[in-house]
């Protein structure tokens, strides 16, 4: 679906000629649950002669975060519809948290599918926090309007098209910093929406060669350098992990490298992004149970996020040199598939004893990480749908985070800023001890097939392929990368685009 147009306006919200206008609504627990219009809605509340909140209450509004209530204006203001989105309790500061606004905006815009033009009159502080709050509103609006096009052959009679145009009310529509936030939000949202499209695409349509082609096509004209290694080149280059995982499929593996070099920056910091691109994961010879296996089409969410992040990097032009490595394979059982018991020689020369072919992600990532370090980098940030252990430990919203202290803190802080939380986890010595192999340098999983600390085993394994002196972080997004429930906030059902906004925030910090 086409991304909505986005513009800034400073006209009185009550006079905007739009199909609907979104305002914020607070609850007031200390006032017996009375409702309070959020900042930005003053002129609209005045037009209702003090009856706005009481009417919304009659319609069931409570001000709970993300709650959406629609009210026909009957000519009271220019817009025919007011949409009140709950922002929680009245804040003690000048605005609710950015994430509350991001989620609330997303919910409101999604609820307004079928409208052509929607205006947002939501609270903006008048201090140094204003750009971050505006960014949250803009991102929430653009991401909340996302819908995957799908493959239905018949028109859906009750299907309402997403909002086509968004207007965001600000104090000064000509303010340069506000305009810069619009430019950034558009670039970021395009990246997130593209990632969602790739993740939501059926696995028979997006196999490794097609995925590589799609990334190359998306990078055309962006200024990014592109390198693609096919199966024969991977084999000749010593990428044993990628070859082993990919050799079981008739759709051969790929390694895609995208490179951004900033202009006019002497000796920039170097960042490598690495993503797992398993376009479908059957588990291989260690085959998965049938129940829920269809969701393994999303096992390439890490590579999708990393590839799309590079498109945003090309548009935003940070003062950091950024390269991305997308390791793509399809993990299938066949007569040519790799087996438990195999010993694989990896790109950096280390030998790995395989115990479970369903732990394939770490095999392709290890090669990609080793290649990134061989090319030269100061930081490696890798993201992958690596382990079910992440979901068990941290749920569907919080990523698992492992690595060196500096890189882990960069990711953790960035995730907090953008609403993509990640929780730092340890890499205990006893977990590494359990991965000793009798015949190779390391076993791919615990040598006794003990799943205790399964998420940590993945991080411990990947650490073996990070060069000395390189700061690194592993972001396990098995849960947050794919949303199986009903749409919520700015998340639709399916791919989420996590952790694109985190990675971009980290790059900003390093610039």
Beta-carbon contacts of residue 468 (< 8 Å; ≥ 6 apart): none
Tell whether the model's pLDDT for residue 31 goes beyond 80.
no
Contacts 24+ apart (CB under 8 A), 158-163: 160/113, 160/114, 161/113, 161/114, 162/1, 162/4, 162/110, 162/113, 163/4, 163/109, 163/112, 163/113, 163/115, 163/116, 163/117, 163/118
Q: What is the pLDDT of residues 82-125, one digit of tens each?
A: 999 999 998 877 689 999 999 999 999 999 999 999 999 999 99
- The Cα 155–Cα 157 span in angstroms is 6
CB atoms inside a 10 Å sphere around CB 426 = 11
Per-residue three-class SS string for 220-246:
CCCCCEEEEECHHHHHHHCCHHHHHHH
pLDDT interval class at 240 (50, 70, 90): very high
Average pLDDT of the residues of the chain = 96
Are 477 and 423 in contact by the 8 Å Cβ rule? The answer is no
- The Cα 495–Cα 484 span in angstroms is 9
Residue carrying the six token digits 């000395």:
468
CATH topology for the 5-174 domain? 3.40.220
Residue 119, strand partner residues = 21, 167
Q: What is the pLDDT of residues 458-508, one digit of tens each?
A: 999 999 999 999 999 999 999 999 999 899 999 999 999 999 999 999 999
Q: What is the pLDDT of residues 279-305, one digit of tens each?
A: 999 999 999 999 999 999 999 999 999
- Domain assignments of the chain as residue spans, ordered by start: 5-174, 190-481
What pLDDT is attached to residue 324? 98
- The Cα 389–Cα 39 span in angstroms is 43
| Residue 203 Cα distances to 16, 206, 296, 301, 488, angstroms | 45, 5, 9, 12, 25
What pLDDT is attached to residue 19? 98
Tell whether the model's pLDDT for residue 33 goes beyond 90.
no
State the alpha helices, DSSP H only, in 114-221: 130-144, 176-200, 208-219
Output the CA angle 111-115-116, nearest 5 degrees: 140
- The Cα 149–Cα 146 span in angstroms is 9
Structure tokens at 53: 């909140």
Per-residue three-class SS string for 331-400:
ECCCCCCCCCCCEEECCCCCEEECCCCCCCHHHHHHHHHHHHHHHCCCEEEEEECCCHHHHHHHCCCCEE
Output the CA angle 380-432-410, nearest 5 degrees: 30
The CATH number of the structural domain formed by 190-481 is: 3.40.630.10
Within 13 A of 485's CA, how many CA atoms are on the CB side? 8
Tell whether the model's pLDDT for residue 254 goes beyond 90.
yes
Beta-carbon contacts of residue 92 (< 8 Å; ≥ 6 apart): none
What pLDDT is attached to residue 258? 99
Per-residue three-class SS string for 39-102:
CCCHHHHHHCCCCHHHHHHHCCCCCCCCCEEEEECCCCCCCCEEEEEEEEECCCCCCCCHHHHH
What pLDDT is attached to residue 155? 84
What is the mean pLDDT of the segment spanning 444-463? 91
Q: What is the pTM of this model?
A: 0.97
Structure tokens at 91: 């804040």
What pLDDT is attached to residue 91? 83
What pLDDT is attached to residue 246? 98
Tell whether the model's pLDDT for residue 197 goes beyond 90.
yes
Structure tokens at 132: 């971050």
Whether the domain at 5-174 and the domain at 190-481 fall into the same CATH topology? no
Positions annotated as catalytic residues are: 288, 362
Output the CA angle 36-40-46, nearest 5 degrees: 65
């Amino acid at each position: 679906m086409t991304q909505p147009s986005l513009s800034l306006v400073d006209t009185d919200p009550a006079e905007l000629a739009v199909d609907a206008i979104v305002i914020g609504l607070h609850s007031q627990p200390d006032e017996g649950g009375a409702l309070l219009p959020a900042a930005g809605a003053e002129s609209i509340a005045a037009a209702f002669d003090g009856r706005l909140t009481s009417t919304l209450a009659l319609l069931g509004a409570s001000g709970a975060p993300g709650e959406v209530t629609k009210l026909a204006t009957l000519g009271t203001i220019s817009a025919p519809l007011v949409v009140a989105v709950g922002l929680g309790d009245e804040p003690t500061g000048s605005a609710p948290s950015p994430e509350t606004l991001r989620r609330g905006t997303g919910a409101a815009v999604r609820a307004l599918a079928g409208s052509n033009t929607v205006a947002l009159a939501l609270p903006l502080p008048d201090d140094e926090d204003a750009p971050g709050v505006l960014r949250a509103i803009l991102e929430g609006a653009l991401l909340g309007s996302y819908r995957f096009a799908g493959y239905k052959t018949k028109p859906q009679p009750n299907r309402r098209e997403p909002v086509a145009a968004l207007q965001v009310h600000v104090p000064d529509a000509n303010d340069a910093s506000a305009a810069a936030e619009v430019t950034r939000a558009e670039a970021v949202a395009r990246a997130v929406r593209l990632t969602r499209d790739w993740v939501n695409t059926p696995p028979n349509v997006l196999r490794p060669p097609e995925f590589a082609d799609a990334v190359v096509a998306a990078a055309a004209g962006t200024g990014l350098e592109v390198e693609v290694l096919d199966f024969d080149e991977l084999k000749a280059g010593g990428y044993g992990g990628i070859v082993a995982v990919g050799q079981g499929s008739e759709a051969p593996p790929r390694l895609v490298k995208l490179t951004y070099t900033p202009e006019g920056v002497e000796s920039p910091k170097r960042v490598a992004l690495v993503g797992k691109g398993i376009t479908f994961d059957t588990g291989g010879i260690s085959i998965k149970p049938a129940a829920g296996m269809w969701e393994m089409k999303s096992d390439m969410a890490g590579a999708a996020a990393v590839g799309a992040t590079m498109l945003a990097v090309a548009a935003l032009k940070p003062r950091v040199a950024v390269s991305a490595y997308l390791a793509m394979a399809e993990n299938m059982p066949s007569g040519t598939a790799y087996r438990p018991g195999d010993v694989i020689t990896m790109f950096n020369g280390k030998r790995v004893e395989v115990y479970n072919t369903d732990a394939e992600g770490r095999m392709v990532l290890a090669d990609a990480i080793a290649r990134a370090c061989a090319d030269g980098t100061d930081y490696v940030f890798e993201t992958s749908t690596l382990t079910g252990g992440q979901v068990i430990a941290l749920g569907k919203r919080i990523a698992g985070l492992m690595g060196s202290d500096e890189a882990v803190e960069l990711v953790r802080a960035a995730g907090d800023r953008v609403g993509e939380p990640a929780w730092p986890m340890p890499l205990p010595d006893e977990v590494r001890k359990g991965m000793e192999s009798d015949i190779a340098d390391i076993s791919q999983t615990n040598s006794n097939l003990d799943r205790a600390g399964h998420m940590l085993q993945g991080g411990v394994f990947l650490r073996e392929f990070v060069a000395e002196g390189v700061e690194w972080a592993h972001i396990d997004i098995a849960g947050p990368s794919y949303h199986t429930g009903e749409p919520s906030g700015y998340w639709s059902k399916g791919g989420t685009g996590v952790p694109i906004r985190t990675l971009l925030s980290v790059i900003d910090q390093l610039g």
